[in-house]
């Protein structure tokens, strides 16, 4: 048990250092936000990506509806020919 404690000290130190770095990054981010500097590039990119995906989804829905109509027409014609 006594040998486990010295091996945990570097791990604890590394975790504490990483937590400190993350905390400092957060502080600097808040400072940038308070002076009016804001990065919106990712949000605009997401909006464009969402519009693009919505357009694709709409076209797929229209195509699916047309295929269902064709399928029902083929079934109707097939039923009329077989009788």
Domain ranges for the chain, please list them. Answer: 1-37, 39-83
pLDDT, residue 58, reads 94
- Whether residue 5 is predicted with pLDDT greater than 80 in this model: the reply is no
Instruction: Work out the angle at residue 18's Cα, subtended by the Cα atoms of residues 12 and 22, and round it to the nearest 5 degrees.
Output: 145
- Average pLDDT on 57-68 reads 93
Residue in this structure with the two tokens 């027409």, named with its chain if needed? 73
Mean pLDDT of the chain: 81
CA angle 17, 18, 21 (to 5 degrees): 90
For residue 50, give Cα distances in angstroms to 46, 57, 62, 67. Answer: 6, 10, 18, 26
Task: Give tens-digit pLDDT for 10-41.
Answer: 888 888 898 888 888 877 776 666 666 665 55
User: Which is higher by pLDDT, 16 or 6?
Assistant: 16
pLDDT value at position 34? Answer: 63
């Amino acid at each position: 048990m006594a040998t486990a404690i010295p091996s945990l000290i570097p791990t604890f130190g590394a975790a504490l250092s990483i937590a400190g770095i993350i905390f400092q990054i957060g502080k600097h981010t808040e400072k940038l936000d308070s002076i009016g500097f804001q990065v919106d590039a990712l949000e605009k990119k997401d909006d464009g990506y969402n519009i693009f995906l919505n357009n694709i989804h709409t076209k797929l829905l229209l195509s699916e509806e047309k295929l269902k109509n064709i399928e029902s027409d083929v079934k109707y014609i097939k039923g009329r020919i077989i009788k």
